Structure 1
Amino acid sequence: MEARALLALVAVASAAANLACANLALVGPYTVEMLELSACDDGEYSGILVNISQTVDEETNGPTYTGAITLHYDITADDFEVELTIYRWGSTGGWYLDFRLQFDKPYEYMKSNFPTVYETIFKDIGFKEKPIPPGTYYIHRLMPRGLRLKRFDVLPYGKYKLYLKGLKDGKTVTCIMSICTVNEAEHTEGVGWKALF
């Protein structure tokens, strides 16, 4: 009798867990919030010096980024290549490779494919027009929150680490890293996990 009662309890708990999970949204309308902007954590790069710190903004009481980025190359040159690598935080911990993209003509590519990133982040850093000559670019009160990418109506929710690396003559010379969260947009419904199968 005890074995049957235990089996019934397990069946009821499993059914309740399935009902609870059915309403979890995995993908849908979203907003992006930048949690960190910094030098890359996977090595040193001779073409860039990143000195950015996160502080609390006095007006909004939210996180903001202040500092400087020194470039030794024109990162918008047509022969400069960019590699975007995105890692996603796993449900059991740790980062795993989610996406990788490599492209040339970075100025044109970013403006046409990621206009929100260009307008919201790159312009605030001082990367306004081509060319972007070597030099130091200062950041003051950079607060990227609530972003939506113009070409993406929905994204998978979660935490992501992005590496934006610049290559000159096949050698990686610049890198900047960002950690972001993709959150479910308020007052919207995402796609539950059962709907994906």
Structure 2
Amino acid sequence: MEARALLAMVAVASAATNLASANLALVGPYTADMLELSACDDGEYQGILINISQIVDEKTNETTNTGAITLHYDIFADDFEMELTVYKWGSTGGWYKDYSLQFDKPFEYLKSNFPTVFETVFVDIGFKEKPVSPGTYYIDRLMPRGFRLKRFDLLPYGKYKLYLKGLKDGKAVTCIMTICTVNEAEYTKGVGLKSLF
């Protein structure tokens, strides 16, 4: 009798697990939140000095980034290249490489392909136009939340670490890292039948 009861309990638990996991969405409409903005944790870079701290904003009671970034290069120069590497937090722990992209003419590329990031991060830091003069740029309470990328209607949910490296003559001389989450959000726009076919 005990064996039957144990078998029945295992069957019920298995069915409940299948029902629960069937409703988990892996990708879809989203909002993104920045969790951290900092120096890259994979080495030192001679062209940039990042001194950013996370503080709690007294008005909103939320964590924000405050500090300074000192540049020794014009990161938007036409002869500068950028490399974006994205890591995703795995379901069993640890970061794995998810995506990599290298592009030249960083000002034009970022402004046209990632306008939301350009407006909510780069402009707030002070990198509004080219050239970006070498010098120190101050950050005050920078922590974008609930944003969406204009060219991406759907994204996989999860936690991501992004490295944005500046390359001069093929060598990485600047790097800034951010950690963000992509969270499920209700899709308000809708998808028309014509767009599916």
TM-score (norm 2): 0.91
C-alpha displacement of 1:151: 0.4
Measure the CA separation in 1 of the matches of 2:103 and 2:124: 23
C-alpha displacement of 1:27: 1.2
Which stretch of the first structure deviates more once superposed, 10-19 or 155-164? 10-19
Amino acid at match of 1:8: A
Aligned partner of residue 146 in structure 2, secondary structure: strand
Aligned to 2:9: 9
Aligned partner of residue 147 in structure 1, secondary structure: coil
Aligned partner of residue 159 in structure 1, secondary structure: strand
Residue pair 2:84, 2:102 contacting (<8 A) in 1 also: yes
Percent identity between the two aligned chains:
83
Aligned partner of residue 77 in structure 1, secondary structure: coil
Aligned partner of residue 76 in structure 1, secondary structure: coil
C-alpha displacement of 1:141: 1.6
Aligned partner of residue 59 in structure 1, secondary structure: coil
Pairing 1:71-90 to 2, within 5 Å after superposition: 71-90=71-90
C-alpha displacement of 1:142: 1.1
Provide the aligned length of Structure 1 versus Structure 2. Answer: 188
Aligned partner of residue 43 in structure 1, secondary structure: coil
* Structure 1 gaps, min length 5: 189-197
TM-score (norm 1): 0.91
Pairing 1:37-186 to 2, within 5 Å after superposition: 37-186=37-186
Measure the CA separation in 2 of the matches of 1:129 and 1:153: 27
Measure the CA separation in 2 of the matches of 1:62 and 1:187: 26
C-alpha displacement of 1:65: 1.1
Measure the CA separation in 2 of the matches of 1:128 and 1:68: 16
Measure the CA separation in 2 of the matches of 1:187 and 1:169: 43
Residue pair 2:35, 2:143 contacting (<8 A) in 1 also: no
Which stretch of the first structure deviates more once superposed, 103-112 or 134-143? 134-143
